[in-house]
Amino acid sequence: MDPVHGGIPLLSHEVAMVDHPLFQRLRFICQNDILSLVFPGATHSRFLHSVGVMHVGGRMFRAMIENCLKRCSQEQRSVVKTDTLEAISYFHRLVRCACLLHDVGHSSFSHQFNRTPSIKSLLAQGGRFEHLWAGIDTSAIYKDPPTILEHEHFSVRAAWQILQDIDNKAPSLEPLDILSLMETTSISPSDLFNRHAHALWPLIAPSDLANNPDSLPDEFASKLQHVLSSLVSGELDADRADYMLRDGFHSSVTIGGFNLDHLLSNIHFGWCPQTNWFGLAIAEKGLSSLEDFVYSRHQMYRQVYAHKTAQGFDWLLRAAIDEVMQNPEVSSFVNASLDNIDSFKYLTDSYFWEAFRKHASVKKN
């Protein structure tokens, strides 16, 4: 039972993902690093957030499909066939899985870890990407291997490992299609994705083009892939929708609130045949909800995330990480964790809190 969204049902393959050690580690990583020192209720974890994003992402895609069905009903045309239903189911599961795994690569203290000078230098070391993916062909995932790693790169690596380990529990999903919706990847749609995209077009298309196979926009599968990835990470995405509601709730502030239900009832697939544009669109009557969404995010950053005292604690946290990283035992552990995904699962807030305690017992000042 989620404190923000209520009951969140999970499919069997989603349960398998959640049960994986690389996902369970998110229970021990706070969503907002040490924001709880200023807003005491903000102790919620990346685990809760990730499950919430999965739920919101699924709702967003479902709302877009429902709005397509309403339009088809008003036009008195039936477009729901077996292959259409299969396509809807496939893309719905893809979005939920990508949302669920989008933050699985966060390290200790979330964003503050990557902003710490000693950690940044480790992430910029040559060969880091190759060590992390040792023995795995990444040519289908990345066109050009990154030289500096961010948490999104670790999310893709961890997600790949989780999907490989639970493969027998998700036989109808193409792992690369899930990864293609995550940031930093450059993955082309699979044959299965292409087939389902073509089956979905009659539902999305205007009535005068729905039955015309030649009306399919150029590179439609890639365009659909881009739209679905924007639900995971974009200007109007499930990630932001969940963390604004969740962080506002746990911080006991009201400025992060917006009407999610009204926003979802007005979200659509948008297509402009003149320019061949295909993307996410909001109905005119939903613009007020979109404005609330944008303004609430601005206010959360202004009054919560960028709170002057919270910023001060973040500076102290980064300084503390830098200080304990001078310990060869700590730096060796962190370095190994960033090189090997199996070791990475032990890199949590708890590890550094214990390192801080040990360091403080030796250096009283």
CATH entry 1.10.3210.10 includes domain 12-362: yes
Of 272, 202, 213, 264, the C-alpha closest to 238 is 264
Q: Are 296 and 244 in contact (CB under 8 A)?
A: yes
Which pLDDT value is given to residue 205?
Answer: 80
Beta carbons of 325 and 118 less than 8 angstroms apart: yes
φ/ψ of residue 244, rounded to 5:
-65, -45
Residue 254 is predicted with a pLDDT of: 77
Does residue 193 contact residue 177 with C-beta atoms inside 8 Å?
yes
CA 247/CA 328 separation, integer angstroms: 36
In the prediction, which pLDDT does 215 show?
63
Q: What is the pLDDT of residue 276?
A: 82
- The ranges assigned to domains in the chain are 12-362
State the Cα–Cα distance between residues 220 and 197, nearest whole angstrom: 7
Helix axes 82-101, 46-74, angle to 10 degrees: 160
pLDDT of residue 158: 97
What type of residue is 280? L
Tell me the Ramachandran region of residue 164: left when phi exceeds 0, alpha when psi lies from -120 to 50, beta otherwise.
Answer: alpha
Global confidence as pTM: 0.94
SS3 of the chain: CECCCECCCCCHHHHHHHHCHHHHHHHHCECCCCHHHCCCCCCCEHHHHHHHHHHHHHHHHHHHHHHHHHHHHHCCCCCCCHHHHHHHHHHHHHHHHHHHHCCCCCCCCCHHHHHCHHHHHHHCCCCHHHHHCCCCCCCCCCCCCCCCCCHHHHHHHHHHHHHHHCHHHCCCCCHHHHHCCCCCCCCCCCHHHHHHHHHHHHHHCCCCCCCCHHHCCCCHHHHHHHHHHHHHCCCCCHHHHHHHHHHHHHHCCCCCCCCHHHHHCCEEEEEECCCCEEEEEECHHHHHHHHHHHHHHHHHHHHHHCCHHHHHHHHHHHHHHHHHCCCHHHHHHHHHHHHCHHHHCCCCHHHHHHHHHHHHHHCCC
Q: What is the structure's pLDDT at 275?
A: 83
Query: For residue 292, what are the β-bridge partners?
Result: none
Phi-psi category of 282—alpha, beta or left, where left has phi over 0 and alpha has psi -120 to 50?
A: beta
Annotate 252-285 with b (16+ C-beta within 10 A) or e (fewer): ebebbebebeebbbbbbbebeeeeeebebbbeee
Residue type, 82: T
Instruction: Enumerate residue ranges in the chain where pLDDT < 70.
Output: 207-218, 256, 364-365
Question: Chain centroid to CA 214: how far?
Answer: 34
- As given in the structure block, the two tokens for residue 229 are 């990835």
pLDDT digits (tens, 9 = 90+) for 181-240: 999 999 999 999 999 999 998 888 876 665 666 666 668 899 999 999 999 999 999 999
Beta-strand pair 277-282/267-272:
antiparallel
Beta bridge partners of 268: 281
Q: How far is CA 229 from the centre of its chain?
A: 9
| Rounded distance between C-alpha atoms, residue 254 and residue 326, angstroms | 41
CA–CA separation, 346 and 270 (whole Å): 43
- C-alpha 206 chain-centroid distance: 31
